[in-house]
């Protein structure tokens, strides 16, 4: 069995987190060793930074720097070692979220985000290579529907408290990332029934040999 790096993206309320455990179990049944993780987070240091990002007020640059600092630790401590062992890494969000949320949502300078991406995601075993997911599953959902789901589900963090216009911009940011790297992305219709969403995900995994 071959390892790989799969990211799950989408606006808050799109349902990606709901499906990750089912996907992990399905892949384990097929013989894969699966590591689940998330961003920001995935290591003790990154989880500490996550709490700051989600709950403490800060400007967009501080937010981006903290997220990419957490990402660097996550890559070096968790993701790269798992890939070296041949495991499948399932990550709830990665750098596409930074371009969607900080870039499109907050209107932060995309050139700075690209510089951070280049510095932080340099592959330790091949410095000329930028570490990106092998597959990104984008759970696409109308922001208005997503907002209704979030309102019913839990107390809102600093991002979930943003207005509908913010999440519309975030969705546009994801669309821009998909357009830039269509071979890496698979769009999942997150408004479909749960079993239909699961079937879309399974088809994407099987298409790549997982």
What does the pLDDT look like over 66-105, one tens digit per residue? 999 999 999 999 999 999 999 999 999 999 999 999 999 9
Checking if the pLDDT of 44 tops 70, the result is yes
The tally of CA atoms less than 13 A away on the side-chain side of residue 92 is: 19
pTM for this prediction: 0.92
| Cα 41 to Cα 117: distance, rounded to the nearest angstrom | 17
Which helix H or strand E contains 207, and what residues bound it? helix 194-207
Q: How many domains does the structure of the chain reveal?
A: 1
What is the domain-level CATH number for residue 82? 3.40.50.300
Checking if the pLDDT of 187 tops 80, the result is yes
Checking if the pLDDT of 170 tops 80, the result is yes
pLDDT per residue as tens digits for the range 114-154: 999 999 998 767 777 899 999 999 999 999 898 777 766 66
Cis peptide upstream of residue 73 (ω within 30 degrees of 0): no
SS3 191: coil
Q: What domain range includes position 21?
A: 4-207
- DSSP for 101-121 reads IIIIIT---HHHHHHHHHHHT
- pLDDT at residue 130 in the model: 92
């Amino acid at each position: 069995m071959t390892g790989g790096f799969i990211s799950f993206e989408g606006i808050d309320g799109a349902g990606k987190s709901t499906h990750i455990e089912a996907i992990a179990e399905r892949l384990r049944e097929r013989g894969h060793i699966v590591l689940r993780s998330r961003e920001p987070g995935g290591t003790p240091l990154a989880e500490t930074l996550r709490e700051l990002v989600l709950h403490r007020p800060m400007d967009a640059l501080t937010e981006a720097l903290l997220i990419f600092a957490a990402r660097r630790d996550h890559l070096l401590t968790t993701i790269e070692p798992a890939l070296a062992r041949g495991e499948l890494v399932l990550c709830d969000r990665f750098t596409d979220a930074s371009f969607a949320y900080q870039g499109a949502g907050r209107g932060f300078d995309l050139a700075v985000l690209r510089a951070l991406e280049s510095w932080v995601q340099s592959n330790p075993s091949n410095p000329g290579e930028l570490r990106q997911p092998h597959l990104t599953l984008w759970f696409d959902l109308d922001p208005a529907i997503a907002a209704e789901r979030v309102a019913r589900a839990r107390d809102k963090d600093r991002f979930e408290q943003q207005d509908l216009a913010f999440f519309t911009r975030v969705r546009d940011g994801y669309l821009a990332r998909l357009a830039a790297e269509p071979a890496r992305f698979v769009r999942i219709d997150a408004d479909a029934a749960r079993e239909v969403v699961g079937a879309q995900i399974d088809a994407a995994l099987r298409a790549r040999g997982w």
